[in-house]
Chain A
Amino acid sequence: MAKINLRKMAINQSGTIVAVKVGGELGRRIREMGLVPGAAITIKQRAPLNDPVALRVLDGTLTLRNNEADYIEVEVDLGP
């Protein structure tokens, strides 16, 4: 298992959030949408210009800008 930054994840890659290292409004927004340590996520899509990214968490789809994804560390699942 490898710990990487959410920004570096590929489309269709899955993983589990390890840490969310941001406070303030951004941290609050990230957490209230269910992006908390322990949550399983899957990258779904990237926008045409590669940013933002759409990901699956809990039973919904969220969008996140790359510079916001930087604060999130993920332990990725190995291969399908």
Chain B
Amino acid sequence: MKTALTIALAGNPNAGKTTLFNHLTGARQHVGNYPGVTVEQKEGCCLHKSKGLRVVDLPGTYSLTAYSVEELVARDFIINEKPDVVVDVVDASNLERNLYLSCQFLELGVPLIIALNMVDVAEKRGLAINTEELGQRLGVTVVPIIARTGKGVDELLDAVLRLSEATTTPQPAFLRYGSDVDETLADMREDLELLDELRAIYPQRWLGVKLLENDEQIVQKAQATSPEAAKRLLARCDEVANHLQHTLGIYPEAMIADHRYGYIKSVMHKGVVTRKFVGDRLYTSDRIDKVVTHRLLGPLIMALVLFALYTFTFSYSTVMVDWLASFFSLINTTIDGLLPDGPVKSMLISGVVDGMGGVMGFVPIIMFMFFGIAVLEDSGYLARVAFMMDRIFHFFGLHGSSVMPFIVSGGIAGGCAVPGVMATRTLRSPKERLATLLTVPFMNCGAKLPVLTLLIGTFFSAHQARYMFLATLLAWIVALCAAKLLRMTVLRGESTPFVMELPPYRFPTIKGLFIHTWERTWQYMKKAGTVILGISILIWAMMTYPGLSDQDLAHFDAARQQAEKTYTSGSEELNQALGKIDADQALMRLKHSYGGRIGVAFEQFSQYAGIDWRTNIALIGGFAAKEVIISTLGTAYSLGEVDSDDSTSLSDRLAKDSSWNPVKALAVMVFIMFYAPCFVTVVCIAKEAGSWKWAAFSMAFNTFFAFIMAVGVYQLGALIYL
């Protein structure tokens, strides 16, 4: 026996589906992924009249074709999981367009209830809708609701319970698609009947319509079920397609769509919708748009808004970041006091606690960013940003919505690629999204800045500001060109159409904002967090093991004893001498570790870019987090501990070193800007792209790319200046 009823929420994006879902389930929701795809599956539960309801929020779609993952996911869920009731959330203020999807549910013959949302908005625009008449003509129950306030939701659930108890199974609606298509459908009947397996799942006529629409999934399934019948059916489809193309110049799928709209028109005709006043009904939204997307004012306002989002994300979160940092350093001090020196303590401090600190350190930033983005998205402004920026980004094979991830990742120097990669979720076009999330790590994030500052300050101190600006500019150019390159090679393909809705401006609901923010943050902690912790321990081990041999240790101990004998105890000279020995030991230990050995071994390649083994080791350390490059470089130059915020000692050392010169510094800077992203970003790329393959690609592609660039800079520079 089934204990709970399953209701699926379907509907157009912006129809208020998620608002209704949040109202129904509150915080009792769970976000997962549909198997194999990156589309989110949101599920929750609620009680109505002591009945448990399982509510599934399907991705928002305008249609039920096989063109996008979202639509396939929604369709497959409804067909395979057979929810007890499908609640189609329809925006009353844009009824005709929304009914296009409802019409397709009717053709599929699912147990349907229409939740006519935002009746208040429609009313304000002078639209009165006769819900009973509408329901009668469509043959389904229509319940007017206001999801924001919860008005009408009880009645909706009553209707859901009533429908779930009904004994009759819903029949697919019989729509006419014009004489040519209808005749073809009649001709196809015999062959369709041969597709027994498919007919058990899908309505027969619907199968015919989908074949005529050239629906990839259904065509494939038909071919797999009965190649013979499929061949005849497809030939018949081709025939009518050619005929329609010759006589009317249109495709069968256009014909079918036209007739769906015709059906909707006939349903809405006379008495369903009354317009109290004619004229433009989106008055307020249009007036805002006149200013906000204005030719000159628009970009200016956008720059301000994006800068505000950036400041909000990175400045306001620092308080929490600092709290977390001091919390974790407190734990470290405690462990330091409790445990004896040794590998366990080292692993706990440098591996586990620092790793956890690394995971948690991003949490406030991610939280603030998603809150900011949720405000922009829910209010409708994000769609305007995409609208204004699309011309530029489309040129590089991206999408107008790509601008946000780029800004967050460091488009304004000092961002972070981790929230940047996560921000690509606002993109709905798969290829553009992948290209965006693979190129955002090229931007100058906050962790690369101290490294760049160090090198610029040391070698180009006269033009610090100018070089910093050039670095930002270079990052943008390289990232966009790399995106173009990817879109012409591995992510080749037509750009996703920019047929996008500019929803009317709305005030976001506080509940929606918080649920949205929390959900994203929690997902990061749960999914990425555990992997990040594991890798963090791995990197620690790589930079620590194997330790020095007994012989080497004895050598350093002897040197220490020697120093203690030579200088008076407590004197400045003794401290200096001991410090020097500690630093030398740290260097030797680093060079001896696996990471160090790799760095030394790679010198034979990196020398073409002028990069020596010490820098190599630092770059390997930078995989943990880019600011680690400074401290590792400090150790590699046996300077002992170097703080990334105050690296004067390292700067002096590099300035004096004869192997360093401005050309080498430039090559190293270019390499640091573009080589493999830090592993936290890599993990996020894997999670967002849905496959580790892309994460591996990102590491290999970026490192190779950065190497070529660095070699180019070094060889060219050497030719000109040296």
Determine if B323 is an interface residue (Cβ-Cβ < 8 Å).
Answer: no
> Cα distance A19–B386 when bound, in Å?
27
Contacts of A45 in B (CB 8 A): 289-290, 293
> Cα distance A48–B251 when bound, in Å?
34
Q: Is A29 a contact of B97 with CB atoms below 8 Å?
A: no
Considering the complex, which residues of chain B in the window 287-324 have a beta carbon less than 8 Å from any beta carbon of chain A? Answer: 289-290, 293, 295-296, 298-299
> Cα distance A46–B383 when bound, in Å?
14
Determine if B236 is an interface residue (Cβ-Cβ < 8 Å).
Answer: no
> Cα distance A39–B394 when bound, in Å?
28
> Cα distance A56–B96 when bound, in Å?
13
Q: Is A28 a contact of B502 with CB atoms below 8 Å?
A: no
> Cα distance A49–B400 when bound, in Å?
12
Of B250, B383, B386, most buried by chain A (CB within 10 Å of CB) is B250
Considering the complex, which residues of chain B in the window 372-391 have a beta carbon less than 8 Å from any beta carbon of chain A? Answer: 383, 386-388, 390-391
Band of interface residues on B: 35 or more
Per-residue contact bits, chain B 572-590, to A (CB 8 Å; 1 contact, 0 not)? 0000000000000000000
Contact of A68 among B65, B257, B261, B499 (CB under 8 A): B499
Q: Is A36 a contact of B97 with CB atoms below 8 Å?
A: no
> Cα distance A60–B121 when bound, in Å?
13
Given known A-B contacts A45-B293, A48-B299, A49-B392, A59 and B502 have beta carbons under 8 A apart: no
> Cα distance A21–B249 when bound, in Å?
7
Per-residue contact bits, chain A 25-67, to B (CB 8 Å; 1 contact, 0 not)? 1111111111111110000111111111010111111111100
Determine if B436 is an interface residue (Cβ-Cβ < 8 Å).
Answer: no
Contacts of B521 in A (CB 8 A): none
> Cα distance A65–B497 when bound, in Å?
8
> Cα distance A48–B341 when bound, in Å?
63
User: In the complex, how many angstroms separate the beta carbon of A31 from the nearest chain B beta carbon?
Assistant: 4
Determine if B469 is an interface residue (Cβ-Cβ < 8 Å).
Answer: no
Per-residue contact bits, chain A 2-40, to B (CB 8 Å; 1 contact, 0 not)? 000000000000000001110101111111111111110
Determine if B100 is an interface residue (Cβ-Cβ < 8 Å).
Answer: yes
Given known A-B contacts A48-B295, A49-B392, A19 and B497 have beta carbons under 8 A apart: no
Given known A-B contacts A20-B254, A60-B97, A65-B390, A28 and B65 have beta carbons under 8 A apart: yes
Determine if B490 is an interface residue (Cβ-Cβ < 8 Å).
Answer: no
> Cα distance A27–B498 when bound, in Å?
12
Per-residue contact bits, chain B 55-73, to A (CB 8 Å; 1 contact, 0 not)? 0000000110101000000
Considering the complex, which residues of chain B in the window 241-296 have a beta carbon less than 8 Å from any beta carbon of chain A? Answer: 249-251, 253-254, 257-258, 261, 280-282, 285-286, 289-290, 293, 295-296
> Cα distance A76–B100 when bound, in Å?
25
Q: Is B391 a contact of A25 with CB atoms below 8 Å?
A: no
Q: Is B254 a contact of A59 with CB atoms below 8 Å?
A: no
> Cα distance A64–B494 when bound, in Å?
15
Contact of A52 among B250, B391, B504 (CB under 8 A): B391
Of all chain B residues, the one with the shortest Cβ separation from A35 is B499
Given known A-B contacts A28-B63, A32-B100, A33-B62, A50 and B391 have beta carbons under 8 A apart: yes
Q: Is A51 a contact of B93 with CB atoms below 8 Å?
A: no
> Cα distance A35–B497 when bound, in Å?
14
Contacts of B63 in A (CB 8 A): 28, 32
User: In the complex, how many angstroms separate the beta carbon of B202 from the nearest chain A beta carbon?
Assistant: 19
Q: Is A51 a contact of B96 with CB atoms below 8 Å?
A: no
Q: Is A59 a contact of B499 with CB atoms below 8 Å?
A: no
Interface size on A, residues (CB 8 A): 40
User: In the complex, how many angstroms separate the beta carbon of A2 from the nearest chain B beta carbon?
Assistant: 19
Q: Is A23 a contact of B251 with CB atoms below 8 Å?
A: yes
> Cα distance A11–B41 when bound, in Å?
41
Q: Is B501 a contact of A33 with CB atoms below 8 Å?
A: yes
Q: Is A33 a contact of B282 with CB atoms below 8 Å?
A: no
Q: Is B97 a contact of A58 with CB atoms below 8 Å?
A: yes
Contacts of A63 in B (CB 8 A): 383, 386-387, 390, 498-502
Determine if B149 is an interface residue (Cβ-Cβ < 8 Å).
Answer: no
User: In the complex, how many angstroms separate the beta carbon of B29 from the nearest chain A beta carbon?
Assistant: 28
Contact of B289 among A32, A44, A50 (CB under 8 A): A44
Contacts of A50 in B (CB 8 A): 391
Contacts of B93 in A (CB 8 A): 59
Contacts of A20 in B (CB 8 A): 250, 254
Q: Is B498 a contact of A64 with CB atoms below 8 Å?
A: yes
Q: Is B497 a contact of A29 with CB atoms below 8 Å?
A: yes
Determine if B94 is an interface residue (Cβ-Cβ < 8 Å).
Answer: yes
Q: Is B282 a contact of A59 with CB atoms below 8 Å?
A: yes
> Cα distance A46–B394 when bound, in Å?
16
Determine if B625 is an interface residue (Cβ-Cβ < 8 Å).
Answer: no
Given known A-B contacts A30-B497, A45-B289, A60 and B94 have beta carbons under 8 A apart: yes
User: In the complex, how many angstroms separate the beta carbon of A27 from the nearest chain B beta carbon?
Assistant: 6
Given known A-B contacts A34-B96, A48-B388, A50-B391, A62 and B501 have beta carbons under 8 A apart: yes
> Cα distance A61–B497 when bound, in Å?
16
Contacts of B298 in A (CB 8 A): 48
Given known A-B contacts A30-B499, A36-B261, A48-B298, A59 and B96 have beta carbons under 8 A apart: yes
User: In the complex, how many angstroms separate the beta carbon of A54 from the nearest chain B beta carbon?
Assistant: 6
Interface CB pairs A-B, < 8 A, 14: A23-B253, A27-B253, A27-B254, A28-B65, A30-B499, A33-B97, A34-B97, A36-B254, A47-B293, A50-B391, A51-B391, A59-B94, A63-B501, A65-B498
Per CB-CB distance, the 8 closest pairs between chain A and chain B, nearest first, are A49-B391, A31-B257, A23-B251, A61-B502, A32-B63, A59-B94, A32-B62, A29-B499
Chain A residues engaging chain B, CB cutoff 8 angstroms? 19-21, 23, 25-39, 44-52, 54, 56-65, 68
Query: Given A33-B97, A37-B258, A59-B95, list of 16 further CB < 8 A pairs?
Result: A23-B254, A26-B497, A26-B499, A28-B65, A28-B67, A39-B261, A45-B289, A45-B290, A45-B293, A48-B296, A56-B280, A59-B94, A59-B97, A63-B499, A63-B500, A63-B502
